[in-house]
Amino acid sequence: DDGDWYETGLHIFFGAYPNVQSLFGELGISDRLQWKEHSMIFAMPNKPGEFSRFDFPEVLPSPLNGIWAILKNNEMLTWPEKVKFAIGLLPAMIGGQPYVEAQDVFSVQEWMRKQGIPDRVTNEVFIAMSKALNFINPDELSMQCVLIALNRFLQEKHGSKMAFLDGNPPERLCMPIVDHIESLGGEVKLNSRIKNIELNNDGTVKSFVLSNGNVVEGDVYVFATPVDILKRLLPENWRGIPYFKRLDKLV
């Protein structure tokens, strides 16, 4: 009772999260998002205790504010590296969504090298970005994932602006969601651990069997769980499906 919260869920909210902001609006709790000044701040691995800033000026529209932020930062990237990085990104900015989707065949590292961008740019900027987006390294993460984020950051004036909740997520975000679901006649059941996923003959989900013996059946099933738990619960005849096979890389 006299302690603090320990919570590992979504801890930061970007301007480029329109669906999350719509959720806050629908729940009537938009004022619980505390927006910070528009800056991206990196710790400097080679200079412990020092930080490098990318400041996005409010007076400029996108993508000029992002370009200005990159050009003004001389601590992380040299001018030749910035130029090569900018030239490498041009196809993504011009090609739009079709180009972005086509880059799923390349890892971040492969794409950077293909575009002639020095490895130092990957090491200084995109290790941090890859870890932030998907918790894996640039040699494993799809470039499509990074380009989706970069496009939103560059095309929307406040896309990369960050907000934090004004308190712990269970009370300030999760409970309003529960209250909203229950006000519409829905149920939220806690402490209902899934034991296994029962399948139909065609490989689709038949039901969820809970550890207390209850069986949950529905029209639609959504499974949100840490990777290690999902790996243990995955039905045997799903493991060979290419979509699920990619889980092998997540440790």
Dihedral sign for Cα 10, 101, 135, 192, please: positive
Dihedral sign for Cα 87, 95, 130, 13, please: positive
Strand partners, 112: none
* Token pair for 52: 């490098």
- State how far the Cα of 198 lies from the Cα of 207, in Å rounded to an integer: 5
The C-alpha angle with vertex 183 and arms to 182 and 188, in degrees rounded to 5, equals: 5
What is the full per-residue pLDDT of the chain (251 aa) written as tens digits? 788 877 666 778 999 889 999 999 999 999 999 999 999 888 887 888 989 888 999 999 888 888 888 888 888 888 888 888 888 888 887 888 889 999 999 999 999 999 988 898 888 888 888 988 888 899 999 999 999 888 888 788 998 899 999 988 889 999 999 999 999 999 998 888 999 999 999 999 999 999 999 999 999 999 888 888 999 999 999 999 999 998 888 77
Per-residue pLDDT, 133: 83
pTM of the predicted model as reported, rounded to 2 decimal places: 0.70
